[in-house]
Amino acid sequence: MPALSCAKRRPVSRLATTGSSVADAKTAARSSIKIFALGEKEDGATTRGFLGALRSELYHDKINITLTEVDLPAVNTPQFDWARNKTGHRAQPVPPIYQSEVAARAIYFGAFNPRRQIWVGFPTVKAILANRIAPGLLDRYLAKFGYTGQLSDQPSDPNAPGNLFEPVTGAYGAHGRFNDQARTGSWEMVTSRHHIAAWAVAFVGWPSALTCWPSC
């Protein structure tokens, strides 16, 4: 809201907010994160409902502010080493994992290039579409496979410090311990950046695919 107050005083403003595929994937064992860290209680309805209502108010009041929601995949951050962990195994983001710079570039792009939504990474696309098409099936799938994807084979240290009540000291940066497997780019961001060209390719390509279908 402070950012919105500052934006209203400018002739043209753009605001970019971040979401997560966790909101749509409803990943098991992350209910507390969904409510308290993301502010999303059920399917991202709280955050997206707020953004939708805010867009309508801005249109009504003729305020030239654009809102972009950037939905992120699993990101290689240090949070998986400083979060309180009682599972017995070291926590990890659900693969595939993306570097922090991928998220940063997407947020920067959303701040200067208005889009209603930007989906970063194919896992984000799958989670959002699956939740829209078959939410019940997605719930059952994640109930079966959601836990193991968040835990590594390495045992956790029961005496490791956690940031539940106070910050964890250490030389932490933008990256976590997953540099060896984290991806440095997202094809979905490429199509979002060049969406006109992507749609043009799609329109040209589909007729060609349908033409050669019988012979394929």
Coil/strand/helix, residue 14: strand
Q: Name, in order, each residue with C-beta under 8 angstroms of 78's C-beta and a sequence gap of 6 or more.
A: 172, 173, 175, 176, 177
Torsion of CA 42, 43, 46, 51, to 10 degrees: 180
Q: Is 44 left (phi over 0), alpha (psi -120 to 50) or beta?
A: left
- The reported pLDDT for the residue numbered 66 is 85
- The reported pLDDT for the residue numbered 175 is 94
Percent of the chain residues past pLDDT 70, beyond the cut: 71
Q: Dump pLDDT digits (tens) for 160-209.
A: 888 888 888 888 889 999 999 999 988 877 666 666 665 566 666 555 54
- The reported pLDDT for the residue numbered 24 is 57
| Structure tokens that stand for 113 in this block | 């290039």
Q: How far apart are CA 110 and CA 119, in angstroms?
A: 11
- The reported pLDDT for the residue numbered 26 is 53
Q: How far apart are CA 211 and CA 175, in angstroms?
A: 47
The total number of residues written for the chain in this structure: 216
Q: Which of 85, 60, 77 is nearest to 152 (CA)?
A: 85
- Which residue numbers in the chain have pLDDT < 50? 31-43, 209-210, 212-216
Peptide bond before residue 2 is cis, with ω within 30 degrees of 0: no
- The reported pLDDT for the residue numbered 201 is 63
